[in-house]
Copies of this chain bind each other. A is one copy, B any other.
Amino acid sequence: MVKRVTGKDVAARAGVTAATVSYVLSGTAKRSVSKETRERVLLAARELGYVPDKTAKSLRRRETKTIGVAIDKNLATPRYALALQGMSQTASSMGYRLLLCHTGSGENGMADYLNVFLERQVDGVIYVGADNVGPNQDDIETVERDGIPFVALDCQLNNPSLGSVDFDYRAGAREATSLLISKRSGRVAYIRPAFESRQESLREQGVIDACRDAGIEPPLTIVAPIGAEALTSFDRDPYDDHVGEPSSAHARLIELPLSRLVNDGDLIVCSWAGWSGIVRVATGFTLSLYADLANDLYSAFSANCYCVMPNYQAGKACVEQLVRQINGGPAAAKLLPIPAAQSYLLHLHDN
């Protein structure tokens, strides 16, 4: 391993001092440098292959241009991966990088994602978290007390002092269900998971809203045996998921006696992305129409309508808002609309 080239080496070669090198390369226009000196420095830097040490810079400037992302989600669910991608690309375009953190607590009992801020490794934190509940009360107090730039995605915190990006689940569910109702008359059956969360309540309420709007009876609600753990990360190797008995939310849905619970011709609304495909296959119904209250690649093949989750946009919004906070701006709350769409592919078959 060769000796590292430092700013001092460049300075020596250019016949200037390290300060001048810094002013030329970091380009803070606090000092003007003569064109001739600047050229000499740039040449020397290029000749020596100088790459400034960011750890030294961070120590001195007290900023890292890095954002911590607390995400323990099951990334095999494209929703979260897309949000992460939105964050990554936006951060990159704004001169930031993403550091992945877990939500668990480390050695000193401090939550990992807060610790990483206090250790000065990141300038702010985006919390996606392991469930849809959000950070605990202790962590929230630490964030407020230490003034940590902080944005929570899809946590429904309702805390104005914390930054947040949320989805308008209720309006989205209402719109998608209404779209389904507009295509065909029939009873609405709603399939949702077995656990309670603010998100699930909002979606269910939106389905009820749509039935009321249309003047039809409230939905028949079917509770699938799927717990909140389906949302979180793998505690075990997901490799195992695919060789033995299926344990994913999708697989457990098929255990229901679906063709006894719903009738052919029902308008079947599913809380999660991709469920309608499973119900369609499992029941073999030919008259029913389907809606997914979220979407993934497969919704286009099995759901007649679905909610278009703006996951990438949400990731982008998180970064934009966090950077505003890092630069001294206030925390804000953003609520993203969820448009409803018809399946382009199923629509093609109609013609």
Comparing A29-37, A52-60, A194-202, the segment that makes contact with chain B is: A52-60
A274 proximity list for chain B (CB < 8 A): 297-298
Contact A102 B92 (CB under 8 A): yes
Name A97's contact: one of B101, B251, B345 (CB within 8 Å).
B101
What's the Cα separation between A315 and B227 when bound, in Å?
27
Is A310 on the interface with B (CB-CB < 8 A)?
Answer: yes
Cα-based distance from A59 to B120 in the complex (angstroms): 13
Contact present for B234 and A312 (CB under 8 Å): yes
Segment touching B, from A78-86, A132-140, A180-188:
A78-86
Chain B residues near A243 (CB, 8 Å)? Answer: 308, 339, 341
* Chain B positions within 8 Å of A297 at CB level: 76, 248, 250-251, 274
Count identical subunits in the complex: 2
A288 located at the interface, meaning its Cβ lies under 8 Å from any Cβ of chain B in the complex: no
**A348 closest partner in B (C-beta):** B254
A312 surroundings in chain B (CB, below 8 A): 234, 237-239
A17 within 8 A of B: no
Distance in angstroms between the alpha carbons of A302 and B99 in the assembled complex:
37
8 Å CB contact of A121 from B1, B54, B116, B242: B54
Question: Does residue A162 face the partner (Cβ distance < 8 Å to B)?
Answer: no
* Interface majority SS (helix, strand, loop, mixed), chain A: mixed
Task: For the complex, count residues of A whose C-beta is within 8 A of B.
Answer: 75
Q: B88 touching A82 by the CB < 8 A rule?
A: no
A350 within 8 A of B: no
Q: How far is the CA of A274 from the CA of B313 in the complex (A)?
A: 26
Q: List, in ascending order, chain B residues with CB within 8 A of A238's CB.
A: 82, 85, 312
In angstroms, how far is the closest chain B Cβ from the Cβ of A90? 11
> Which residues in B have their C-beta under 8 angstroms from that of A234?
85, 89, 312
Task: Tell me, yes or no, whether A261 is within 8 Å of chain B by CB.
Answer: no
Cβ-based interface call for A213 (8 A): no
**CB of A326 within 8 Å of the partner chain:** no
A 98-127 binary contact with B (CB < 8 Å = 1; else 0): 111110000010100001101111000000
- A54: shortest Cβ distance to chain B, in Å? 4
Chain B neighbourhood of A250, CB < 8 A:
297-298, 300-301
Q: Could you tell me if A99 and B98 are in contact, using CB atoms closer than 8 angstroms?
A: yes
Evaluate contact between A66 and B99: CB separation under 8 angstroms: yes
Which residues of chain B come closer than 8 Å to A92, judged between CB atoms?
Answer: 102
User: Which residues of B have CB within 8 Å of A257?
Assistant: none
Given contacts A54-B121, A75-B81, A250-B301, 20 further A-B contacts (CB under 8 A): A51-B110, A51-B118, A55-B55, A75-B82, A75-B84, A75-B85, A76-B85, A85-B234, A88-B102, A89-B233, A97-B101, A97-B116, A239-B311, A242-B299, A242-B308, A242-B341, A244-B344, A246-B345, A251-B297, A251-B300
What 6 A-B pairs are tightest by C-beta distance, nearest first?
A75-B81, A51-B118, A76-B78, A54-B119, A81-B81, A98-B100
